[in-house]
Each structure stands twice: as C-alpha cells, then as structure tokens.
Amino acid sequence: MKFAYYPGCTLKNRAKALDRTARETAALLGIEFEEIPEWQCCGGAYTSAKDEIATKLASVRALAAGRQIGDGRVVTVCSACYNVLKQTNHEFAVNPDFDFKVNNYLKGEPEYHGEGGVVHYLELLRDEVGFDELKKRVTRPLTGKKIAAYYGCLLLRPSSVLAFDDPENPAVMEDFIRALGAEPVLYSMRNECCGGYLTLTDRETAKRRSAAVKESAREMGADYMITACPLCLYNLTKNTDEPIPVRYFTEVLADALGLGGE
C-alpha cells in the first residue's frame, strides 16, 4: 500500500514526534508514505473564509500532486490539515464555480477537479489495515492503561463533509485504543473544543476550555490522553496545570508496536 503523505507545517517543527512516529509505524505496518514533493501549508485557519480562493490554492496543489501517487488519496495525520484538505476537495464536488475559479488561478499548472481524495491516518488504520489486524501486530500491548481519546473539533466536523465518524458519539479512537490492548475512557468533553486559536487572542478562554477537557478526562480515571491534533496538544499541555500527559496517537501506536524506547 502506497499513499501520498502530506505532513503539514507543524509536523516539521513543533510536532516532529507526530511526523516521525506516523512514518515509522506506517512503514512497520507495510504502508509506504511518499511525501508530496514541494508541498505548501494547507492554509490553516485562513481557509474558513467563505469566498476565499487564494488561501485554498495550496491545498489544491497538494491534492493535485497527491493524485499521482498510489491510489490518488492523500494521507494526513494532523486534524487541521485533514479538515482543510478534505473540505477543499469537497468544494469541487458541490461548487462548480469554485472549480472554475481555482483552475483559472492555476493556469499553467495541471488542472484539478476534485478527483483525488483525503484520508486520515486513523482512517487508514481502521479501514485499510483493520483494527483486528493491528491488534495482531501489537508486540507490547498497553494492557491496564486507561487512555482518554481526545477528538477535538476539526477531526469530526462538519460531519457531512468529513464523514469520518459520528460527530457526537465517535468510536474510531476508542476502537484504536482497544486494538492496542488498552482501555478507552469515555468522558464528556472528548469532542469539545480545546480553545483552538483563541489561545492567541483570548488566552483565558482557551485555558478554561482546555482545563475543562482535561478535568473531565481525569475524573473518568484516564492515565493519559491521546490526540491527533498539534494545536489540541499545545493547548492541553501549555494552557492547563492538569498533570495528565497528552500524547499523539501515533506515539502510543509506536509504543505498542515496539518502536518506542519505553
């Protein structure tokens, strides 16, 4: 299995661990990640602007480059990149005007009409590898560990476009945790917002949000939390005093597959 791999900016500096463990675990599981050449930033938060085309071009270029690799689907591990890329690709299917304008911008580059696809690494593990198979590949099961999966908001919503999991009652990360031999912890804030970019403009609110998330996980007895989003991890670790560790899901996966030094 070979896929186009889109790391995203954060994975090249702050979230290097996410990038490294994603590549290592994928390689161990027989998935080849081919990094998209000359990829640019997905556009991050700017893409939420409704009528904006220019900020989405970087995503389109990534998607266009990705379609030549493997079955044409682009794999990401960052929740934000996943959200932006997938929403951008969806726009081609529902908005002919967007398609037209984007391709006008891209004159001179190959045309793109949404024929590629976007898939999150968790989806790959669930749908391509399969959690049953993953369970068999685990060499150091995390038996006895109580892990709280933190979804945040970007991974699940808008559910009609991302179609990743039930936005209110998701299960994919819990199933993932079970596959690694640990016990998932259900807690009320698992798909609530951590405060996101508010940490830049209104740090107090962001702190309150993150604290509430971690408190809720601690109350249900979690040993540590996992997430797929670098921004969530930042907020949950830097904006609260709650001692529960927060890790990337790929780090935990690397541990269970025997890659980590733990």
Partner 1 sequence: MQKLGVFVCHCGTNIAATVDVKAVAEALGREPSVVVSTDYPYMCSESGQNLIKDAIREHSLDGVVICSCSPRMHENTFRKAAAQAGLNPYMVEIANIREQCSWIHKDREEATEKAIVLGRAAIAKVLLNTPLTAGESPVTKRALVIGGGIAGIQTALDIAEAGFPVDIVEKEPTIGGKMAQLDKTFPTLDCAACILTPKMVDCAQNENIRILSFSEVEEVTGFVGNFTAKIRRKARYVDETKCTGCGLCTEKCPVKKVPNEFNLGMDNRRAVYIPFAQAVPKVARIDPDWCNMLKNGKCGLCSKVCTVGAIDYKQTDTVLEEHYGAIVAATGYEPIKVDRYGEYAYAQSKDVITSLEFERLTNAAGPTSGTLLRPSDGRHPHTIVFIQCVGSRCTPEMGKTYCSKICCMYTAKHAMLTREKYPDTDVYVFYIDVRTPGKNFDEFYRRAAEEYGVHYIKGAVGKVMPRADGTLDVQASDLIMNEQLHINADLVVLAAAIEPSKTARRLATMLTASMDTNDFFTEAHPKLRPVESPTAGIFLSGVCQGPKDIPETVSQASACAAKVIGLLSKNKLTGNPCVAHSDEWMCNGCSNCASVCPYGAITYLDKDFRMPDRSTKTRRVASVNPAVCQGCGACTVACPSGAMDLYGFSNSQIMAEVDAICK
Binding residues (CB under 8 A) for partner 1: these are: 166, 168-169, 186-189, 192, 216, 219-221
CB–CB of 232/79 below 8 Å? yes
- Supply the minimum distance, in Å, between the C-beta of residue 88 and partner 1: 23
Question: CB-wise, 103 or 205, nearer to partner 1?
Answer: 205
- Supply the minimum distance, in Å, between the C-beta of residue 4 and partner 1: 32
Question: CB-wise, 17 or 171, nearer to partner 1?
Answer: 171
Alpha carbons 172 and 166: distance in angstroms, whole number: 9
Question: CB-wise, 95 or 188, nearer to partner 1?
Answer: 188
Q: At what angle do helices 172-179 and 249-256 cross, to 10 degrees?
A: 20
- Supply the minimum distance, in Å, between the C-beta of residue 154 and partner 1: 17
DSSP lists the bridge partners of residue 149 as 226
Q: At what angle do helices 230-238 and 79-94 cross, to 10 degrees?
A: 140
- Supply the minimum distance, in Å, between the C-beta of residue 192 and partner 1: 8
* Pick from 189, 186, 183: nearest CA to 146: 183
Question: CB-wise, 37 or 243, nearer to partner 1?
Answer: 243
The amino acid present at 143, given as its one-letter code, is T
